[in-house]
Amino acid sequence: MRPDPRRGTVLIAIAGICALMASLGAAFLLRMRSDAEATAEVVRETQARVMLVAGCNYVLESSRLGWDTALGVNGAHREGFGWVDVRTGQAGPRDQANNAVWSDASRFPAIGGRAAR
C-alpha cells in the first residue's frame, strides 16, 4: 500500500490558515495600538485647549476686577469687586466702601443699556 500523496495538504492548508489568522491578529493589535496613541494625543490636545480657554477666561474675568484711577486715603488705589458686586449684587465695580469706581461717561453702553447700531 502506498500512502496517499495528498495526505499532507490538509495539514499545510490548516497551517496556512493559522498563519494568516495570526498575521491578521497581529495587524489588528498594531492598528489598535496606533489608534490608542493617536487618541491619547487628541485627549492631551483637548485638555491643553480647555486649560488655555480656562486661563483666558480667568484673565478676562480678573481684568474686570480692577482698581480705581483716583488715589485712596493712604495714597493707594481702591480695589474694585467686579461688574456685579458679590457682596451686594449691585452693578460694579465698587470699592470696599460700596462707592462706584467706574465712570458712566465712557463710550461703552451702560449696564443694561443698548449698544449703538
pLDDT digits (tens, 9 = 90+) for 3-18: 776 778 888 999 999 9
- CB-based contact 16:8 (threshold 8 Å): no
At residue 69, φ and ψ (nearest 5 deg) are: -95, -25
pLDDT bucket at 117, cuts 50 / 70 / 90: very low
Mean pLDDT (the chain, rounded): 77
Torsion region of 82: left, alpha or beta (phi above 0 gives left; psi -120 to 50 gives alpha):
left
Q: What is the pLDDT of residues 37-75, one digit of tens each?
A: 999 999 999 999 999 999 988 887 766 555 555 666 666
**Domain span at residue 37?**
9-64
Above 60 in pLDDT, residue 106?
Answer: no
Integer Cα distance of 81 and 64 in angstroms: 8
Q: Enter the DSSP assignment of 11.
A: H
Rounded Cα gap, residues 69 and 109, in angstroms:
20
User: For the chain, what is the domain count?
Assistant: 1
Is residue 94 a part of any domain in this protein?
Answer: no
With residue 42 as reference, give the H or E element that holds it: helix 9-64
C-alpha cell read off for 21: 489568522
